[in-house]
Amino acid sequence: MFAPDRVVVAAFSVLLSAATPSVAAQSIGKAVHIKTAVTGASGELAVDDPVYQDERIRTSKSGLGQFVFRDGTKLAVGWGSSVVIDKFVFDGSRSVKKLTVKAAKGTFRWISGNSKHAAYEILTPAGTIGVRGTAFDFYIGADGTTAIVLLGGSASFCGPGGCRELTRRCDCVVAKPNGSLTDTSKVDRGIFDTLGNTKALPFLSGNQKLSGIGGSGCGLASLAVPQDKPPLRAKRAAPVKPIVEPDDDRPPDDKPDKQPDDKPRDHDKPDKPDDEKPERPRDRDKGHRHHDRDGHSVDDGSQHHGDHDDGYHRGRDKDRSDGDRRGHDKDRGDKGRKGK
């Protein structure tokens, strides 16, 4: 049989082991900004969700997650990234004794909190980033190539090929897992060719917008501007088409035909009185045609007037002859009556 003291020890051990997960599950920080898909150990994360030690955080191809740890350290995890909070030893105050982050791939921004510089350590496939009260962006490619760009304070990078110090804003170092390591130099847009990825360092290029912890810089933001201009020009040109299309929908022949027809009509409007006046000469023309039938020519104005004059004189002569005859007949009648 077991001794009573051994039973007590065994029971205490069971209680201790049962209490261990609650200690391990203690929150070390929380999510403060989530965009699209960001997942943790228990599924998709939302704003104010806690994060835990040894929890792997992943983002989708368009994902973005921003986290704040208990000592005030801020970590932004850009698209297509994977990172684990490997060690987090909290000293009970507002600082930590140890905070180790293992970054496997993707793009990140780090801003140190209230802890001592020696407490922070960031592990990458190409080497270790030493944090010294610092703000910086770093990128890890699919082949493990790592780039660090300093934004404030100072930092160091050590790998198989040696160590480099970053002391000025926009200082940059690129390292590979095989030990290849560049000298420290100011970053420029050539970094995207070096890394073979235009989507690297999106917080500096402006391709991803952070909430509350700074934005683009170091001259890389100008890379995003030319990419945005072509679509803007296309959108401005697009509205011109609808304006032209209604004109195309209308019968193309109607407009040109109407304009020439309308214009002559407008010019003819003042000529309307002239159109009415010629109607009187038309009656005269009938007379002319009558004269023409009699063999008179309308083209010869003198002959035409002569015909009218001849008719006039003939009428007068006829009246005179008729009057004379009537007078003679009357005289004869009177004489006859007197003779009787």
Decide if 83 is inside a domain.
yes
C-alpha 12/C-alpha 340 separation (Å) is 192
Decide if 216 is inside a domain.
yes
- The DSSP H or E segment spanning 323 is helix 301-339
What's the pLDDT at 133? 75
CA proximity to 210, closest of 133, 123, 157, 151? 151
Helix and strand counts by DSSP (H, E) for the chain: 9, 15
Give residue 117's pLDDT band: very low, low, confident or very high (50, 70, 90): confident
CATH code of the domain in which 58 resides? 2.60.120.1440
C-alpha 150/C-alpha 134 separation (Å) is 8
Decide if 234 is inside a domain.
no
Decide if 53 is inside a domain.
yes
Helix axes 301-339 and 279-293, enclosed angle (nearest 10): 70
What's the pLDDT at 36? 85
What's the pLDDT at 217? 82
What's the pLDDT at 55? 94
Decide if 286 is inside a domain.
no
Decide if 232 is inside a domain.
no
What's the pLDDT at 6? 42
- Per DSSP, the residues of 207-271 read SS--SSS----TT-GGGHHHHHHHHHHHHHHTTHHHHHHHHHHS-TTHHHHHHHHHHHHHHHGGG
Least confident of 87-101, 208-222, 259-273, 284-298: 284-298
How many CA atoms within 13 Å lie on the side-chain side of 287?
8
Share the mean pLDDT of the chain: 73
Residue 131 has pLDDT above 50, yes or no: yes
C-alpha 51/C-alpha 60 separation (Å) is 18
What's the pLDDT at 90? 79
What's the pLDDT at 231? 42
Residue 160 has pLDDT above 90, yes or no: yes
Predicted confidence (pLDDT) per residue in 22-75, tens digit: 444 678 999 999 998 899 888 999 999 999 999 999 999 999 999 999 999 999
Question: Do β-strands 82-90 and 127-140 pair in parallel, antiparallel, or remain unpaired?
Answer: unpaired
What's the pLDDT at 243? 56
CA proximity to 151, closest of 117, 77, 201, 193? 201
Decide if 40 is inside a domain.
yes
What's the pLDDT at 256? 52
Residue 152 has pLDDT above 90, yes or no: yes
More confident residue, 129 or 26: 129
C-alpha 32/C-alpha 38 separation (Å) is 12
For 159, the domain range is: 26-222
233 near 167, Cβ under 8 Å?
no
Kindly give, in sequence order, each residue whose CB lies less than 8 Å from that of residue 284, ignoring residues fewer than 6 positions away. none
What's the pLDDT at 244? 53
Decide if 204 is inside a domain.
yes
What's the pLDDT at 14? 38
Residue 134 has pLDDT above 80, yes or no: yes
144 near 123, Cβ under 8 Å?
no
pTM as predicted:
0.59
More confident residue, 223 or 171: 171
Give residue 250's pLDDT band: very low, low, confident or very high (50, 70, 90): low
Q: What is the mean predicted confidence (pLDDT) over 319-338?
A: 49
Residue 190 has pLDDT above 60, yes or no: yes
Q: How many domains does the chain have?
A: 1
The pair of structure tokens assigned to 50 is 């806690």
Residue 2 has pLDDT above 90, yes or no: no
Predicted confidence (pLDDT) per residue in 255-310, tens digit: 555 555 555 455 445 555 544 544 554 444 444 444 444 444 444 444 444 444 44
Predicted confidence (pLDDT) per residue in 228-245, tens digit: 344 444 444 555 555 555
What's the pLDDT at 288? 46
Per-residue DSSP letter, 93: S
User: Could you give phi then psi for residue 193, rounded to 5 degrees?
Assistant: -70, -40
